[in-house]
């Protein structure tokens, strides 16, 4: 029969809180928690999912430099960007049906005022409301289009979900249906097809590499590397390429796949 010594028992009891602490799971760090709703922006998941591989070579005469901005950039120095050679800009207007960029006026009007061709984008959250509802919210809050030669068509930013599962809990067929719903409503409201911004790997994962939108919606592809790489199904070429999130003055830099007069043609519909 074992003998229990009082001293050993007391020592064990004294160590119990320490032992329990070791066994308990570590608390979630700030990095593990999803960001606050509304803080999503173009390409925030690209580097993590697709990696980075350097910048494309300079001196491409047939491409036109652009930027995209959101509330993360705050009040943007549009003069500095213009002087650096940036000729077009996209500004985050909305997210879901619950968020409007508080810096939208400074960014959207400021880029226009300095001489840029500019447009607005919507960060899609297909798990919160329908595509049509989000298209209406976007158009009603800065995402419209006008044939003034200086306003680019609105953009549907559809990419990794920063708040949960990558595909927003939707099947590939349901995701395609949601995108179609958004695009149809945007075209009905503005008379212009929306641009689709996405990354090829996300498009494959979450739409099954659906190829049915390329005939109407221009493609803005995200890939932070020296080449644009494989495009999503349905597009033989890209219209815009987001090639880095670490560019000068503001992070997200892009290239329009053509000379300035082709950019004007897109603005003119």
| pLDDT tens, per residue, the chain with 269 residues | 444 444 444 444 455 454 444 444 445 444 567 889 888 888 767 767 767 666 665 545 479 999 999 999 999 999 999 999 999 999 999 999 999 999 999 999 999 999 999 999 999 999 999 999 999 999 999 999 999 999 999 999 999 999 999 999 999 999 999 999 999 999 999 999 999 999 999 999 999 999 999 999 999 999 999 899 999 999 999 999 999 999 999 989 999 999 999 999 999 98
For residue 134, give every residue at least 6 positions away whose Cβ sits within 8 Å of its Cβ, in sequence order, or none. 94, 96, 97, 122, 124, 125, 182
**CB 121, CB 254: distance < 8 Å:** no
Beta-strand (E) ranges in 104-258?
117-123, 155-157, 195-198, 219-222, 240-244, 253-256
**CB 179, CB 197: distance < 8 Å:** no
pLDDT of residue 141: 98
pLDDT of residue 120: 98
Catalytic sites, residue numbers: 68, 157, 159
The number of C-alpha atoms within 13 Å of 137 and in the hemisphere containing its C-beta is: 23
- For β-strands 117-123 and 219-222, DSSP reports them as unpaired
pLDDT of residue 32: 65
Q: How far is CA 169 from the centre of its chain?
A: 18
Tokens of 4: 């229990």
Cα–Cα distance, 216 to 194 (Å, whole number): 8
What domains can be seen in the chain, in order of their start residue? 64-267 (3.20.20.80)
Cα–Cα distance, 250 to 106 (Å, whole number): 15
Q: How far is CA 2 from the centre of its chain?
A: 67
User: Given the structure tokens 């995209």, which residue do they identify?
Assistant: 68
**CB 184, CB 197: distance < 8 Å:** no
Cα distances (angstroms) measured from residue 179 to each of 6, 21, 174: 70, 47, 9
Q: Report pTM.
A: 0.83
């Amino acid at each position: 029969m074992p003998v229990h010594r009082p001293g050993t028992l007391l020592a064990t009891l004294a160590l119990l809180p320490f032992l329990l602490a070791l066994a308990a799971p570590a608390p979630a760090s700030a990095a593990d928690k999803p960001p606050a709703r509304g803080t999503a922006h173009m390409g925030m998941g690209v580097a993590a999912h697709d990696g980075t591989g350097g910048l494309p070579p300079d001196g491409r005469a047939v491409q036109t430099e652009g930027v995209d901005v959101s509330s993360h950039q705050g009040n943007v120095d549009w003069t500095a960007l213009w002087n650096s050679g940036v000729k077009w800009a996209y500004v985050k207007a909305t997210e879901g049906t619950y968020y409007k960029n508080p810096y939208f006026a400074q960014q959207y009007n400021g880029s226009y005022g300095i001489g840029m061709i500019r447009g607005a984008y919507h960060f899609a959250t297909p798990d919160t409301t329908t595509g049509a509802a989000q298209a209406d919210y976007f158009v009603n809050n800065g995402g419209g289009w006008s044939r003034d030669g200086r306003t680019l068509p609105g953009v549907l930013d559809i990419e990794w979900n920063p708040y949960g599962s990558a595909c927003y809990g939707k099947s590939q067929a349901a995701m395609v249906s949601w995108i179609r719903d958004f695009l149809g409503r945007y075209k009905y409201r503005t008379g212009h097809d929306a641009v689709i911004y996405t990354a090829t790997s996300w498009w494959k994962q979450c739409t099954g590499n659906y190829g049915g939108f390329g005939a109407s919606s221009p493609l803005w592809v995200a890939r932070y590397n020296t080449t644009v790489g494989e495009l999503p199904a349905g597009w033989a070429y890209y219209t815009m390429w987001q090639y880095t999130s670490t560019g000068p003055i503001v992070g997200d830099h892009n290239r329009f796949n053509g000379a300035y007069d082709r950019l004007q043609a897109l603005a003119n519909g």
